[in-house]
Amino acid sequence: MKRIYLVGFMGCGKSAVGRRLSFLLKLPFYDMDKEIVRQTGMTIPEIFEQHGEEYFRNLETQFLKNHSHDNCIVSTGGGVALREENRKIMRETGLVLFLDAPFREIWRRIHNDVNRPIVRNSTREEIEALFKSRYRHYKAAAHITIRTEFRTLRQITQYAAFQVNRLKGE
């Protein structure tokens, strides 16, 4: 297991869990969206507005293919698991953890976030339909599903660390 990938819908806690897991396991942490912003010099909304979603999805795939760091934690973007190629890369190069949060909890976290182009331009019903359409892709990508409902960030992180260490044989 070279990398630990966190997948799930926007707002499920990938970045927050990734940062804490990085500290707990003493591994470097990479937030895919932040890395893409750093590499392109553009915000995610700017990338979507100027180049479109397909271009952004290609950047995500390129990140997975070209990321040169092993023994690290990668928080992926919410749409990464949609592409079969991405699911294959992640499953072959690391352990994929799906942070499974119910939609009502996700909506509570994201509905006012101006940095999410999809949220800015969609209704709650449209976002929920997107959530439902993506769910099976997260399940298909995952080696382990972690239910986050009724768990604190600390509990989720400790459970993720437990699973990683269990699979490493520690």
Q: Cite the annotated binding site for ATP by residue number.
A: 11-16, 116, 151
Containing H/E element for 87?
helix 84-93
By the 8 A CB rule, do 109 and 9 touch?
no
- Give the residue numbers of the binding site for Mg(2+): 15
- Give the residue numbers of the binding site: 11-16, 33, 57, 78, 116, 134, 151
Q: What is the 3-state secondary structure (H, E, C) of 98-140?
A: EEECCHHHHHHHHCCCCCCHHHHCCCHHHHHHHHHHHHHHHHH
